[in-house]
Chains A and B, each alone.
Chain A
């Protein structure tokens, strides 16, 4: 990552992805409300299955040329 201070869990024993760490940085700014919204989208009540939603997520990321 470009900013070392964002690597909030670099000393953790288990692997934590960069984006996972970034969501823990100043969580009130973004990570906390966003994670809850994402959880609602990806695992909450929906007409779409979890698998279909994962597919939408991968497609949306690919549109932005994002490999995550």
Chain B
């Protein structure tokens, strides 16, 4: 579960998504809003389980055709960043909340999204593997 939120929070920070609190929603209304998303969006559809779920997420991020070549995204996932994206991706991995407009200046939305997701996925799954190993699972 932590790995899920490690990915989505980095994604939100890179895009500069407005938090519910700044959008005028109270904490209670924000929870109710996201609750509707869960309850109505995918109700009773739990897919094939967590492991296959992660495989599908990884396939989407790393193999869907897009602005960045698949080989570039897989390299970013493994920690090998193209020089022009390295400063942004360092922030994505270490402290995504510090990303500012200047960090994405001159980059397209698709490049930022694909690179951010590849880096975030790599970090999150590496940490998840370590945690499961520590637990003996």
Contact = CB atoms under 8 A, between A and B. Distances in A.
Given A2-B101, A33-B59, A36-B45, A19 B17 contact: yes
B135 interface: no
A66 B7 CA distance: 11
Instruction: Give the size category of A's interface with B.
Output: 35 or more
A68 to B, nearest CB: 5
Instruction: Give the size category of B's interface with A.
Output: 35 or more
Contacts, number: 150
Contacts of A53: 1
Contact of A19 (B12, B45, B114, B117): B12
A67 B56 contact: no
B13 to A, nearest CB: 7
Interface of B: 1-2, 4-13, 15-21, 23, 25, 30-31, 33-34, 37-39, 41-43, 45-47, 49-50, 53-54, 56-57, 59-61, 64, 66, 95-97, 101, 104, 109-110, 112-114, 117
